[in-house]
């Protein structure tokens, strides 16, 4: 188990213990505080990954390698989808707490929108449709 996971488990245990001591009237604040820490943890992990990938892309460009788009792998796209779903959970909770169903709907529309933009970036034919073959392509 990763040290960061252990720290997060300890934080959750402390939050639950505090909730038991303070009672239900502080539950919302405790949950918000814990979710903020989870969001920070996810943000820092994503930031590290983005910085690493940007550095790799800059190194590849400096060497005259393939364009960054050509380096997109299935794993990167899968990871993006997983991270967006992980972030959707606290966003749904926050949206639901403040605006009810419309807040949850807005959060999920945002998640779907971000994933669609990512998919369109990787596959431009999603927006323009399949490319038609001309008579020059068949020669």
Instruction: Give me the DSSP letters along 102-138.
Output: HHHHHHHHHHHHHHHHHHHHH-THHHH-SPPPPHHHH
Query: What is the number of other CB atoms lying within 10 angstroms of the CB of residue 11?
Result: 15
Top pLDDT among 59 and 1 is at 59
Asked if 97 contacts 107 with a C-beta cutoff of 8 angstroms, the reply is: no
pLDDT tens figures, 44-53: 888 999 999 8
Q: Would you state the pLDDT for residue 105?
A: 92
**Every domain of the chain and the residues it spans:** 1-68, 72-129
Phi/psi of residue 131, nearest 5 degrees: -70, 130
Q: In this predicted structure, what is the pLDDT of residue 1?
A: 58
More confident residue, 71 or 40: 40
Residue 92 has pLDDT above 80, yes or no: yes
Tokens representing 20 are 């038991």
Write the DSSP string, 14-52.
HHHHHHHHH-GGGHHHHHHHHHHHHHHHHHHHHHHHHHH
Give the span between the Cα atoms of 108 and 87, in whole angstroms.
10
The pTM of this model reads: 0.41
Please write the tens of the pLDDT for every residue from 23-57: 888 888 888 888 888 888 888 888 999 999 888 88
Q: What percent of the chain has pLDDT over 90?
A: 5
Tell me the pLDDT band of 109, cut-offs 50, 70 and 90.
very high
Mean pLDDT, the chain, integer:
80
Q: Retrieve residue 14's tokens.
A: 């402390």
């Amino acid at each position: 188990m990763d040290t960061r996971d252990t720290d997060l488990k300890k934080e959750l245990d402390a939050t639950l213990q505090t909730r038991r001591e303070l009672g239900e009237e502080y539950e919302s604040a405790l949950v918000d505080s814990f979710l903020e820490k989870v969001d920070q943890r996810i943000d820092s992990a994503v930031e590290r990954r983005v910085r690493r990938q940007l550095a790799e892309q800059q190194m590849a460009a400096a060497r005259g390698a393939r364009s960054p788009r050509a380096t997109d792998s299935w794993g990167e796209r899968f990871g993006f989808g997983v991270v967006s779903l992980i972030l959707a959970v606290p966003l749904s909770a926050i949206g639901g707490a403040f605006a009810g169903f419309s807040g949850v709907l807005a959060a999920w529309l945002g998640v779907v929108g971000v994933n669609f933009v990512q998919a369109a970036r990787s596959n431009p034919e999603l927006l323009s449709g399949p490319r038609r073959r001309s008579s020059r392509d068949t020669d």
